[in-house]
Amino acid sequence: MPGEFALIGQYFARATPSAILGPGDDCALVQPTPGKELAITTDMLVAGTHFLPDTDPHNLGWKALAVNLSDLAAMGATPRWALLAGSLPAVDEPWIAKFAAGFFACAAEYGVDIVGGDTTRGPLNVCVTALGECEPGQALRRDGARAGDLVWVSGRPGLASLGLAQLQGRIELPEPWSRLCVTALEKPQPRVALGRALVGFASAAIDVSDGLLADLGHIGERSGLASAVHLVQLPHLPRGETCDAGLRRLALECQLAGGDDYELCFTTPPEQANAVGAIAARLELPLWCIGRMVAGRAGEVTVLDPDDNPVEFPRRGYDHFA
């Protein structure tokens, strides 16, 4: 059975052309592009909390990096480098090989060099730190929204949470929704190109990881504003003869509070609506105007029905300690 350093050398030590020094020393050495700001993020994935123990290791490897790149996307940053740390209950080389293949596939897709990390024995846990670059003073932040700004979301939030319910046997989705939802859960697509395109247009942004209402609330908290979301403006989710009322209700709850979406929620001044439409067309990515930032208690999010009456949703999103 190979030891720790043999495993690292065989599966995780790859060429790092953008680094001065990559894996193999006490630290990596990187040289940021002159004049750029560094954006740095860390996310942890724990078996049984963030992913099912039998998740395909290739997809898990992809997701471990993708969720960090989603944070960089939300800041409008260009991904550059990442570090991978993890604990494994045992040396399962076929599992490790598939995980590494998925992880480096995501790295190659988004131009990221893996410059270091750490491994140990313990419960299955993966922790990634990612670094990206922003133009000085141009990072998209949560605290820039203004009253009257439009609220937007990319893609179709809610699919990943429905995919989890499918895998847990709580629901049975019709095709193609079953396939789409499970793929959204296990292989999210960080919206890096969208984040870069929004620089100069968006007033605030966040990635939707804990749930749309919760994450929009974070923009409100940091910007000192409330927000209103209109149900009729949300993206369509499963509906039709094969979807009963209970499933449609669950789909709406997943959309508003499910999390694990890794879409971008962002705000813009109303006069930038045409620019957002042009970005959507150029990226071939649906961008939905779902509401507006309003004066009110910081962080409060009101959901409105077609008659503009408030609708109660007791759950806003995921909280690890709630």
pTM above 0.75, yes or no: yes
Q: Taking Cα atoms as reference points, which of 81, 207, 79 lies closest to residue 133?
A: 79
**Distance, CA of 59 to CA of 187 (rounded, Å):** 6
Domain for residue 315, yes or no?
no
Does one domain contain both 158 and 295?
A: yes
**What is the structure's pLDDT at 241?**
44
pLDDT at 8: 76
Asked if residues 80 and 18 have their Cβ atoms less than 8 Å apart, the reply is yes
Domain count, the chain: 2
- Torsion on CA atoms 152, 155, 157, 158, rounded to nearest 10: 150
Distances (CA, A) of 255 to 58, 107, 227, 236, 291: 26, 28, 17, 10, 15
Question: With left for phi above 0 and alpha for psi between -120 and 50, is residue 319 left, alpha or beta?
Answer: beta
Distance CA 20, CA 41 (A): 21
pLDDT at 321: 60
Q: Is 320 a domain residue?
A: no
Does some domain include residue 290? yes
Residue 52 lies in a domain: yes
Residue-range definition of the domain harbouring residue 111? 4-134
**Quick one: 127 and 207 in the same domain?**
no
Asked whether residue 322 is assigned to any structural domain, the reply reads: no
Residue that terminates a domain, selected from 77, 101, 134? 134
* pLDDT of res. 243: 59
The pLDDT score that the predictor gives to residue 87 is 94
Residue 198 is part of a domain; what is its CATH number? Answer: 3.90.650.10
Q: Are residues 280 and 166 in the same domain?
A: yes
Whether 66 and 161 map to the same domain: the answer is no
What does each C-alpha distance from 289 to 73, 116, 268, 311 come to in angstroms? 19, 40, 10, 19
Given 69, 103, 134, the domain boundary residue is 134
Give the CATH number for residue 120.
3.30.1330.10
User: CA angle, 315 as apex, 314 and 321 as ends, to 5°?
Assistant: 125
Which three-class secondary structure string do you get for 110-169? CCCEEEEEEEEECCCEEEEEEEEEECCCCCCCCCCCCCCCEEEEECCCCHHHHHHHHHCC
Q: Are residues 200 and 120 in the same domain?
A: no
DSSP string for residues in 284-319: T--EEEEEEEESSSTT-EEEE-TTS-EE--S--S--
Give the C-alpha separation, 58 to 162, whole Å: 21
Residues 270 and 233 in one domain: yes
First to last CA, the chain: 41
Residue 25, SS3 per DSSP: strand
pLDDT at 224: 98
The low-confidence residues of the chain, meaning pLDDT below 70, are 1-2, 238-243, 318-322
